[in-house]
Amino acid sequence: MDFFEQESNYKERIVSEKRLKVFKILVYTLIIILFSRLFWIEIVEGGVWQNIAETNKIRIQEISAPRGLIYSKDGVVLAKNIPMFEIAVVPADLSKDLDERKELIEEIKEITDNLIELDESALEVIKEAPSTSYEEIVISGPFDYQLFVYFKTKFKNFPGVKIKYSLKREYPQGEIFSHILGYLGRINKEELEVYSGEYNFNDYLGRAGVEKVYESILKGEKGLREIEVNSYGQEEKILSEKPSYPGKDIVLTINVHFQEKLAELLNKYLKKYNLSSGTVIALNPNNGEILAMLSQPTYDNNILILGTNEQKQDILNNKNSPLVFRAISGIYPSGSTIKGALAAGALEEGIIDENFKVNSTGGIKVGKWFFPDWKPGGHGKVNVIQALAHSVNTFFYYIGGGYEDFKGLGVEKINYYLNLFGFGEKTGIDLPNEASGLLPTPEWKQKVKGEIWYPGDTYHLSIGQGDILVTPLQIANYTAVLANKGTLFKPKVVSEFIDPVTKSQEKIEAQVIRDNFISLDSIDIVRQGFRAAVTEGSARQLNDLPFTVAGKTGTAQVSNKNPHAWFTCFAPYENPEIVLTILLENGGEGSSVAVPLAREILSYWFNTLSDHSGSDHPGGSLQRQTPGKFGFLKE
């Protein structure tokens, strides 16, 4: 080997050693960095990363509380919970990529096509739900066990998609209790803010009826469950659990058999007279408890929970407004039914006594206006009892608006006494959306119609026509005051709460709105008039019943349509246990249409459910008219 070759080898060895040294330095540097990073992660930030890992593996779930059941007075279940299943999605287990989430939604739609309906609003939520959210979002309607098995298989390997067990509301009695019970609906964004912490996105709450008013009683208290999940977000095991506490059960004041009979008879008469709308209310005059209450048209509240979107829209868009509970929300001219309150007011004011008489010759003429009686030629001389019995308009024109030298109550006193009996204000029944009706005043007319108050307005008001508006429940409650001799109760449909765990009971006591506001002497005279309506007057079809009835018919005019047929009564006359109020919209004369229906209902009550029947299960434990357009209608 010559000199040059030795020098070349030496240089190459020097370069190789330098490269090796640089490589070693790089390796040692990387090792130091790696160990430093591991030290930082394991020691310095170890607790943070451990918490993240545990969070991904361990989750806290809410346990829904079984909703309280609702029973009739005679122990029949009216609202219960049935086991169902739903498809839910957990955003934290989904891809963060929006396009991938959209693809997942399309896959879900393809699998569920024509089998169940998906909630489009919920699908929109999961598209942009934060990836840190472990809150389950229900995206489907409820389905049964057969579909559960199918979907469980199909979605087995879908991260973030799970089949969830749930309890859904069912109403076994269907339409006849829908207005009273109401229904449930999923909570919306605004309500989530109001009820922060109490509800989540998937929760349902009462939307109408008892379900709405007693939501806080029925909903119960949620529990919590700590679970461990796998990489798909599916539950592996339960680590700890705080059970939920069920909502309280509710017992209504309503007897289910009586409610069924009312529905049968009301539908019979609506069909007989080709009518579409009507209301029947039965209540206990001694405590304000509703014994039965029904309005037609009604709806099936099961559809609003378990039905398809198409079925729900059919109800919501129905031109007959079946969702409106006419018994408490419908407002109508009262017709002659309120004449008892006017008579009581006139007696209290000393304008008349029981011997005062008016000569009815067919009506009264004031200037160019004529205000007719319903009977051509009139009724002759009548006192207050006879005027109530035969519904003599002329008598009430006198005591309401006055005539010639006789001074009547006038509009202020009329409204004062009508209000004492509960008109012009809500009764306070434990149901939502109650209407207050209307007691028209000169100030109201000037403000709303831009017109002054005429004497004719007072005459119209005196016989329950014109602008006065009442609800069927107000008529029933006022009738109860006459029946019980002077106490206005707050009506109620719920009698007690029962804790399903401890079985403790909480009774709902009767509430008095006002009492002793009319003297017993005045009430007794009005009661005699109502009794005379049955023995000799417009309701004498009831006089041959084996129990005593007192009542008042009414025929309320409406423009360009048949009048509304009213009848309100109480029985037995001596010791009343039931008030019955009937309204058949556009039914015609109260005496010929509503009274026969009352006869069948009262006969059923006293033969089957009344304390007097010997039964083992007692049922008790508008539009303005121009003068001269009333026609000659019987009451």
More confident residue, 546 or 634: 546
| Residue bearing tokens 């003297």 | 519
pLDDT at position 403, please? 94
- Count of other CB atoms within 10 angstroms of residue 628: 13
Residues 250, 251, 254, 255, CA torsion sign: positive
pLDDT at position 358, please? 95
Q: How many helices (H) and strands (E) does the chain have?
A: 22, 23
Instruction: Find the helix or strand (DSSP H, E) in which 72 lies.
Output: none
- What mean pLDDT comes out for the span 448-471? 96
pLDDT at position 287, please? 98
Torsion of CA 231, 233, 235, 237, to 10 degrees: 50
Distance CA 82, CA 230 (A): 30
- The DSSP secondary-structure symbol of 324 reads S
With beta carbons less than 8 A apart as the criterion, state whether 55 and 136 touch: no
Distance CA 198, CA 203 (A): 9
- What mean pLDDT comes out for the span 441-459? 96
Tokens of 548: 């005593």
> pLDDT at residue 375 above 60?
yes
pLDDT at position 173, please? 95
314-348 confidence digits (pLDDT tens): 999 999 999 999 999 999 999 999 999 999 999 99
Lowest mean pLDDT among 161-170, 188-197, 626-635: 626-635
> pLDDT at residue 438 above 80?
yes
Which amino acid is residue 405, in one-letter code?
D
Tokens of 115: 């089998």
Residues in CB range of 73: below 8 A, 6 or more apart: 251, 252, 253, 254, 255, 256, 495, 619, 621
- What mean pLDDT comes out for the span 462-470? 96
Please report, rounded to a whole number, the percentage of residues in the chain having pLDDT higher than 90.
Answer: 63
pLDDT at position 616, please? 39
- β-pair partners for 472: none
Pairing of strands 235-242, 223-229: antiparallel
Distance CA 534, CA 178 (A): 34
pLDDT at position 633, please? 44
Residue 17 sits at φ, ψ, to 5 deg, of -65, -40
pLDDT at position 31, please? 73
Distance CA 505, CA 485 (A): 31
- What mean pLDDT comes out for the span 472-495? 98
> pLDDT at residue 536 above 80?
yes
23-37 confidence digits (pLDDT tens): 677 766 777 776 666
Torsion of CA 344, 558, 423, 580, to 10 degrees: 80
Tokens of 527: 């009661």
27-78 confidence digits (pLDDT tens): 667 777 766 665 555 555 555 444 544 545 787 878 889 999 999 999 999 9
CA angle 70, 72, 76 (to 5 degrees): 90
- Is there a cis peptide before residue 297, judged by omega within 30 degrees of 0? yes
pLDDT at position 52, please? 44
- What mean pLDDT comes out for the span 268-292? 97
Please report, rounded to a whole number, the percentage of residues in the chain having pLDDT higher than 70.
Answer: 88
Residue 631 sits at φ, ψ, to 5 deg, of 75, -175
pLDDT at position 486, please? 97
Instruction: Find the helix or strand (DSSP H, E) in which 31 lies.
Output: helix 3-39
565-600 confidence digits (pLDDT tens): 999 999 999 999 999 999 999 999 989 999 999 999
User: Which of 289-293, 360-364, 622-626 ranks highest by mean pLDDT?
Assistant: 289-293
pLDDT at position 569, please? 98
Lowest mean pLDDT among 236-240, 414-418, 497-501, 606-610: 236-240
pLDDT at position 35, please? 66
pLDDT at position 29, please? 74
